[in-house]
């Protein structure tokens, strides 16, 4: 049996899932540069790799959160944007008005296990576990992964070698950070 790429993860099931996702990435990677496929197919392979890479990042950061905040059943995190101090500037009709106000993030609570990547990094940043640079790189990765939603596109999105390199760089940084910061 091969040695795990995530030996520092003590949860055996999580470690196995991480290794399987990583192995799937390794399996797909040659297809992204193969001359046997046209660019749309290569882009589709890259897209899948980005999804798996983001899943690894999310799992590692959740593992860090879970280790550092073990006693929390409900976790407070930045949950949504809300319009505060609303002022009506102009009423167009009964169903439409022009308003002004503050659009701010508000705190919410959820079970740890239901947190998504945005909530995980918001929480870790608010608790000063991760810094601004790591937060921003993971958030960029989250946005890249979320571009996978087909219904939001006005053009066919093509995923590039540069997108993969960025994803791998973020994953490497997150893995190193989690490995160094686990209790």
Specify the pLDDT at position 155: 76
The overall average pLDDT reported for the chain is 89
Q: Does some domain include residue 171? A: yes
User: What pLDDT is attached to residue 157?
Assistant: 81
User: Could you tell me if 99 and 87 are in contact, meaning their C-beta atoms sit under 8 angstroms apart?
Assistant: yes
Q: Which tens digit of pLDDT belongs to each residue from 85-132?
A: 999 999 999 999 999 999 887 766 777 788 889 989 988 998 899 999
Q: Give me the number of domains the chain comprises.
A: 1
Mean pLDDT of 7-16: 96
**% of the chain with per-residue pLDDT over 70:** 91
For position 137, which CATH number holds?
Answer: 1.20.120
The pLDDT of residue 4 is 94
Q: Is residue 73 pLDDT above 60, yes or no?
A: no
Establish if 7 belongs to a structural domain.
Answer: no
Tell whether the model's pLDDT for residue 75 goes beyond 90: no
Strand partners of residue 87:
100
Greatest CA separation found in the chain? Answer: 69
Going by pLDDT thresholds of 50, 70 and 90, the confidence category of residue 79 is: low
Q: Is residue 36 part of a domain?
A: yes
pLDDT at 104: 85
Domain of 66?
A: 12-181
Distance CA 23, CA 84 (A): 47
């Amino acid at each position: 049996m091969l040695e795990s790429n995530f030996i520092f993860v003590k949860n055996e099931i999580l470690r196995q899932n991480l290794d399987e996702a990583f192995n799937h990435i390794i399996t797909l990677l040659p297809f992204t540069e193969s001359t046997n496929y046209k660019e749309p197919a290569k882009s589709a392979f890259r897209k899948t790799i980005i999804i798996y890479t983001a899943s690894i990042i999310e799992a590692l950061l959740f593992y860090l959160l879970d280790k550092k905040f073990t006693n929390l059943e409900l976790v407070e995190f930045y949950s949504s944007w809300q319009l505060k101090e609303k002022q009506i500037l102009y009423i167009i009709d009964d169903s439409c008005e022009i308003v002004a106000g503050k659009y701010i993030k508000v705190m919410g609570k959820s079970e740890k296990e239901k947190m998504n990547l945005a909530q995980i990094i918001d929480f870790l940043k608010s608790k000063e576990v991760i810094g601004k640079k790591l937060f921003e790189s993971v958030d960029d990765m989250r946005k890249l992964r979320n571009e996978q939603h087909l219904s939001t596109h006005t053009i066919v999105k093509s995923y590039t070698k540069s997108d993969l390199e960025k994803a791998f760089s973020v994953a490497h940084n997150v893995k190193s950070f989690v490995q160094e910061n686990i209790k």
